[in-house]
Chains A and B, each alone.
Chain A
Amino acid sequence: MTLLAWGFDGLLLLGLLGLAWKALNSTDLFSAIALFIAFGLLMALVWVRLEAPDIALAEAAIGAGLSGALLLAALARLRGMEGNVTSNTGVEEAPNNIDARLVQWLSAILLLPVLFGLVYGVLSLPGNAVGLSAEINANLAASGVSNPVTAVLLNFRAYDTLLEVFVLLLALIAIWSMGSIQFNRSIETIGKTSLETTSSVLDTLVYLLVPVLMMVAAYLLWVGAHAPGGAFQAGSVLAAACVLLLLAGWPLHRLLTAMRLRLLAVAGPVVFVSMAAYSLIAEGALLQFPPEHAGTLILLLETVAALSIAVTLAALFSGGQGQHE
């Protein structure tokens, strides 16, 4: 049994390293994306083997699912832009070998301290660290949930999650601030050109899959209180439903930039911050929940955060501000 487990872990590790190397080393962008999707799959298996099913769930939803779709859509837009760039400037940028070499060496030199820092960090860890799990288990009853990971993420260290929600919002603002990018083909028509007419098979898939995705998102949100799951996992599954609708040609672009969906995108951060401010005044500490209401507050927080995360991720996929008309 142990031997088999060792074999499994060894093979997983080799496969992971091989995929990472090939993905970084590939000159063809599409191959790199396909390898990255496979890398996400193996990464989720690694998290499972490290007994971190919460992270495996997030990796399955984001790493293997959404970011694959996001990268593929980005590649399609790059292809759409390439022709435009050359026709505008008229000058093709010749790849300069010396410059490329210089950049490589510079980044290698800059990365060395990072490497040393990491090695130092790993070596300076105490050999028999007990971690904080004993303290967490002792205080779990006061957190309002029975899943220790959710207790840490939304109660003991809720400001971590608060900042993560803001990171997503910042990413969306960054993408929207790119403004209108003109493509030589409009985004709406990429994927719906002469080759892709409406397909009844795709429509059926969407009709069947989207309700299931929404149900699973609700299930993950609910199960997060006592088992692996939670706002990020639920939000990304819900975002996947939106992405599927967008891909099938549903006109969600306009909805996603409309005021109500902007409001939805900021709802999570706003509720989080107002709760933090309230607890600071009422309880005297940032994001300190009274134990008797903690469960309800966390569920409320997670529901709003999941909706915001879903809308933000879907808007990231949909890309630039509604300039496609």
Chain B
Amino acid sequence: MIAVIDLFSVLLLIAGAVFFLAGTLGLLRFPDVYTRLHALTKADNVGLGLIIAGLALQAESWAVAGKLVLIWLLVLLAGASVSYLVANGALKRGIRPWKS
């Protein structure tokens, strides 16, 4: 039973790391602010979410798991609001979205 939980943890952590890698690659390779914003939120929301899920499975108590989830929710809230503010500000400043 414990081994199954460990396995899930490993899978979630590795998946989270992959999302962080994807986010960084997007940040480095995508052509403009808006597409980079898109890449960034993948790491913010999904990457951190998967890593926290993997860690929460190993948490010693419900309180610790709850704190982990709270941290994730806070990052989600901040990430979503800041993404909107940056994208909105960029549009208003006349930064044109990239077209191929």
Contact B89 A195 (CB under 8 A): yes
Name B92's contact: one of A195, A202, A204 (CB within 8 Å).
A195
- Nearest chain-A residue to B93 (Cβ)? A195
Name A209's contact: one of B77, B85, B88, B93 (CB within 8 Å).
B77
| Residue A125, interface by CB 8 Å | no
Q: What is the size, in residues, of chain A's interface with B at 8 Å between Cβ atoms?
A: 10
A80 to B: closest C-beta gap in Å: 17
Please report whether the interface of chain B is mostly helix, strand, loop or mixed according to DSSP: helix
A186 to B: closest C-beta gap in Å: 21
B69 to A: closest C-beta gap in Å: 14
- Nearest chain-A residue to B77 (Cβ)? A208
- Nearest chain-A residue to B89 (Cβ)? A195
Whole-angstrom CA separation of A16 from B74 in the bound complex = 27
Whole-angstrom CA separation of A201 from B86 in the bound complex = 12
Find chain B residues with CB under 8 A from A205 CB: 77-78, 81
Q: What is the size, in residues, of chain B's interface with A at 8 Å between Cβ atoms?
A: 10
| Residue A89, interface by CB 8 Å | no
| Residue B8, interface by CB 8 Å | no
Please report whether the interface of chain A is mostly helix, strand, loop or mixed according to DSSP: helix
| Residue A25, interface by CB 8 Å | no
Whole-angstrom CA separation of A205 from B86 in the bound complex = 14
Contact A202 B89 (CB under 8 A): no
Find chain B residues with CB under 8 A from A212 CB: 74
Contact B85 A201 (CB under 8 A): yes
Q: Which residues 66-100 in B have Cβ within 8 Å of A in the complex? A: 74, 77-78, 81, 84-85, 88-89, 92-93
Chain A, residues 196-208, CB within 8 Å of chain B (1/0): the string is 1001011011001
Which of B74, B77, B81, B85 has the largest count of A CB atoms less than 10 A from its CB? B81
Whole-angstrom CA separation of A202 from B77 in the bound complex = 11
Find chain A residues with CB under 8 A from B85 CB: 199, 201-202
Which of A196, A201, A209 has the largest count of B CB atoms less than 10 A from its CB? A201
Whole-angstrom CA separation of A158 from B77 in the bound complex = 39
Whole-angstrom CA separation of A35 from B58 in the bound complex = 35
Mark A residues whose CB is within 8 Å of B.
Answer: 195-196, 199, 201-202, 204-205, 208-209, 212
List 8 additional contacts besides A201-B85, A205-B78; criterion CB under 8 Å: A195-B93, A199-B88, A201-B84, A202-B81, A204-B81, A205-B77, A205-B81, A209-B78
Q: List 21 A-B contacts (CB under 8 A).
A: A195-B89, A195-B92, A195-B93, A196-B89, A199-B85, A199-B88, A201-B81, A201-B84, A201-B85, A201-B88, A202-B81, A202-B85, A204-B81, A205-B77, A205-B78, A205-B81, A208-B77, A209-B74, A209-B77, A209-B78, A212-B74
